[in-house]
Amino acid sequence: MTVTLARRLLPALTLLSIACLAFADGVDRHGGEKLREKFAAADTDHDGSLSRAEAAAGMPRVAKHFDAIDTDHDGKLTLAEIAAFLKQARAERQTSN
């Protein structure tokens, strides 16, 4: 049974690893290190996400767009959600110019 479970999990874990690498690459290309630093400083409870209060205190410009960034509507922002929002905003600015 353990071997069967491992065979089922291996493809999922491989895809997850690829997705994580792609996400990391996307963040890096879009001001990644600075964004990660700001996010880490704002994430005062170190749970990997920003509450509305944490965003307001540590990333006020992000807080202004909290509802638009919170794509899964769970009341908190992840670094991935913020990076996706910034990427989309840049793309929209480039097409409007």
15-67 pLDDT, tens digit each: 554 545 445 545 555 568 999 999 999 999 999 999 999 999 999 999 999 99
Domains of the chain from N-terminus onward: 27-96 (1.10.238.10)
Give the CA distances from residue 84 to residues 9, 45, 88, in Å, rounded to whole numbers and listed in that order: 27, 23, 6
Angle among Cα 48, 53, 58 to the nearest 5 degrees reads: 70
- pTM listed for this prediction: 0.67
In this prediction, residue 3 has a pLDDT band, given cuts at 50, 70 and 90, of: low
Tokens of 9: 């999990």
Between 32 and 71, the higher pLDDT residue: 71
What's the pLDDT score for residue 5?
56
Tokens of 69: 């960034």
H/E stretch holding 37 reads: helix 32-42
Tokens of 18: 């690829």
